[in-house]
Structure formats: C-alpha cells, structure tokens
Amino acid sequence: MEPEMEDTTLELMNTTLMDSQTDELLSKKTTVFKVGHKTVTNQTITNGPMTGSRKRPSEGNYEKEKDVCIQLFDQWCEADQVEFVEHLISRMCHYQHGHINSYLKPMLQRDFITALPAQGLDHIAENILSFLDACSLCSAELVCKEWQRVISEGMLWKKLIERMVRTDPLWKGLSERHQWEKYLFKNRTTEVPPNSYYRSLYPKIIQDIETIEANWRCGRHNLQRIQCRSENSKGVYCLQYDDDKIISGLRDNSIKIWDKQSLECLKILTGHTGSVLCLQYDERVIVSGSSDSTVRVWDVNSGEVLNTLIHHNEAVLHLRFCNGLMVTCSKDRSIAVWDMASPTDISLRRVLVGHRAAVNVVDFDDKYIVSASGDRTIKVWSTSTCEFVRTLNGHKRGIACLQYRDRLVVSGSSDNTIRLWDIECGACLRVLEGHEELVRCIRFDNKRIVSGAYDGKIKVWDLQAALDPRAPASTLCLRTLVEHSGRVFRLQFDELRAGRPHAHTRTSPDSRTSLMECGCVCIRGRY
C-alpha cells in the first residue's frame, strides 16, 4: 500500500489477518505513519490470543514512532485531538472497541458524593441522595464512611419520612396519630432529634402500615355501638366524623353531635322540618340538606343557624363544599352551584340541568363537577364555566352513590354493581359485582374501595387490582363484613386506624350506630 505524501498529517491503520488453521488468534498489524514528507512502516506479528493488555515485543522503531505521535498529539488543540481519536476508533475492529471501552470505564467513573463535599458542595450531594427510596438509602449508607456521613449530616431519613407524609395520606395520618409529626418539617436551627432517630423510626412506621394492611385484609376489628334511638328517632341517614366527634343527620329532622371517645351525645341541632339527608362540616360550619328542600348552615361550635338557603323545589339529596364553592343536588333533577364568600354570604352561581331523574349525588374538584342520577347516567361539568362536558353511560339502573378524585370516578347503582370510570375519556375501566342489592354508599382511597349496600354488607375491594385489566374478578373483593341485617346508607373510612375506632361508617333506620375498630364505624339498621 503506497500512501500519498502530505504535510502535517498522520494516519494509523490496523489490519488483522486471521489464520483459520489454528485455534490461536494470529494478528498481523501494519502501522503506517505519515509525518511531514517521511513515510515510516512498522510491521509486527503476534501469536496467541489477544488479552486486555498489549502483548507484543517492542520491535523496530515502534517506541520512537509512538513518541513522535504523542508529541504531535500533545501539540494539537482538544478538538483536533478528539477528531483524531475518532478517526482511529473508526478504523478498529469490534474487539479493539471492547478493549477501549473497558479501559475508559473506570476513567469515566466519579464518586461525586465524595467529591462534592470536598469542593464545599455538601448540599448538592445531599440533594442527590434525597431522591432515593428507603432500600436504596440503606445501600448507600454501606458504600463508604463518606456516603454515610453525607446521609447522616443531611438528615436524609428525616427528609424521606417528610416526603412520604406530604404525598401519602396514610403516612400523614400516622404522623398525627403517633405525634411524631412534631419532629418533621423543622429546619436545622431548631431542636430536632439526630438522624439515627429517623433511621429507627422508619421501620416502625412500615410495621404499623403492614399491621393496618393485614387488618384490612383479614377483617380484624372490634365493634362498639351508639344507641341513637329516641321517641321520635326512626333512623340515621348521614354522618361524618373526625378524631373528636361524630356528626349525624337523623330522620327525625335533627342533627346530633357525639363524642367519639365516650360515645355520648354532646349536642342536638334542630331547625329542619324534614329528615336530614346529607351533611358536611369543616372547622367552622356544618352544612346540611333536608327533605324540606332547604340547605342550612350551622356554627360547628355553638350549633347556631347561620344561614338558610331556599332554592330547590324538592328534597336536597346530597351536597359538597370546598374552597369557597358548594354544589347541591335535589330530587327536582337540578344541580345548584353556590359561591361561599362566608357562612352568611352564599350566592347562587349557576343551576345545572340535564338529568331526567332525581340527582342523587355530586362531587367536584377544581376541574370537574360530577353528578349521578336515577336516570342511570353520570354527567360531567366544567367547574370553572359550569358547562356540560360529557355523559358516562353503563349502569343498567339508577345510580345511588359516587366518588370522584383525580381522573377516577367510582359509582354504585341499584343494578347491584360498582363501576370504575376514567373521567377524561368516559371509559368504564371495571365492573365490580358481589352485592346482592342496591349499592347505596361508596368511598375509596389510593389502595381500596369500601362499599355499603341494601343487602346489609360492607365490602372491601382492592383498587389497584381493579384498575389492572389482567386481574381476575375473583381476586378483587378482599373482605366482606357482615355485622347486621339492615340497609347500609352511608359510610366513611379511615385507613390508618389499626386497633382504633372508625375505619368506615354506615347508617340505617334502626338508629343504632356501630363503631368497628379497624373495621368500620357503622350506623346499622334492622326493619
């Protein structure tokens, strides 16, 4: 091969000849250098397999030629050096590429977690490791003492727990229940326990969560009852509870407030002239809807009536309020959207019509208002404009209950089924079958759906499995709770209460409230 003569150029060519008659690799390498106006050729023969290091004798002028090449290489700028190396690599075989890759790998690796603090950038190393989950954080502690120091001084176990509390309602509930929330979300200038405290706290939290999950799966619970019966009381239609109290709406037109610990009646609110069918409260007010067609606003502490809203022509069947907005629905087939500037300043924004039967339930967030009716449909409306968006069709009979969160809608119907819907596209994701009568109430969280029906049963369903189309229908119902023979009207559940009262709540016309520890808070009935 006769190369052309050019100034200030250099080429390196490798050719390999393989001898198929032997098991050993015979490599013949011809190296041609063109430096200035001089051509130098060097040939060597190497017998035996090629290894990770260069196995060849330094024959001829190789060492001198190599030194000349290195001198020229060192004189070039970085861009020229990179271009030259790219040309060399493009002329190499696959084995040589692998050898170079193995050579470069350790050169490219950097222990940045150790290097950053040395440059005064501890906060960057801490921020990087703060994205690890618990298992990865445990592994990182074992890498070396410097990594362990960064994790400890950066309080990364504390940050991990804080992240879980911010994003998971169960973690938040446990932090409040066990009062270790007071050690969270504190800066380093305040008095906080050392990293070791949070390191040992984490597995205890996981153990609590596993206990709660086991109680839900196995249906372990203790049962308590509140006797609501009075001379005029014939049933309980709705309720809500927190750590301190239970507020219930009764068929005798009253609202009763109960102490959750002693189960004694603390207060009775009167004013409605019909059964109290729905209610919701926050730290300031109780809002109730009645078969007398009115909505009343009460002071949650004093029990004083603050406002009475007269709009619907028939019974107010359900209501929701949040962040200055309230939505009510009625047997008159309409939905009313209200602006709540204050308990005494509530104005009607818009009336939504479109259902062909009583609107039994509503729910909403910042994006959508969702309503369900006896006409077998679920309708979706824009929260901001109150314009109609779409209809969800699928239930074969009227819809009695519904909950909406994120893009998931879960509904229960008098066709005895529960349906899961994608609100954005209107598709039915799953049909849950198991109840023998009308599904009257339903609630769900990130892990489970809890439903109550007129068959007197409360069923616990695996939400994540229900959202997986591959999951067999037979695996979806985790537990059926049969504590009474009456109809179940309302329920509320709290997943964190292992061995504590009130996991979910049900109501029924015999005016008896049952508290099931790590099972349910029920108001149960018998006709």
pLDDT value, residue 178: 83
Is the distance from CB of 355 to CB of 333 less than 8 angstroms?
yes
pLDDT value, residue 115: 86
**Number of Cα atoms under 13 Å in the Cβ half of residue 33:** 17
pLDDT value, residue 55: 52
Q: Which amino acid is at 461?
A: W
pLDDT value, residue 254: 94
Beta strands in 331-489 (DSSP E): 335-342, 345-352, 359-364, 368-373, 377-382, 388-393, 399-405, 408-413, 417-422, 428-433, 439-444, 448-453, 458-462, 477-481
Rg of the chain over all Cα atoms, to the nearest angstrom: 36
pLDDT value, residue 221: 67
Q: What does pTM read for this prediction?
A: 0.67
Strand 439-444 versus strand 448-453 pairing type: antiparallel
pLDDT value, residue 438: 95
Q: What angle do CA 212, 217, 221 make, to 5 degrees?
A: 65
Mean pLDDT by 10 residues, the chain (527 residues): 39 37 38 41 39 53 88 93 93 92 86 86 89 92 91 91 88 85 76 87 91 78 66 76 90 92 91 96 96 97 96 97 97 97 96 97 96 97 97 96 95 97 96 95 91 91 95 92 78 56 39 42 36
Residue (of 308, 243, 319) closest to 269 by Cα position:
308
pLDDT value, residue 182: 83
Q: Could you write out the DSSP letters of every residue in 388-399?
A: EEEEEE--SS-E
Is the distance from CB of 351 to CB of 371 less than 8 angstroms?
no
Separation between Cα atoms, residue 317 and residue 249, nearest integer Å: 12
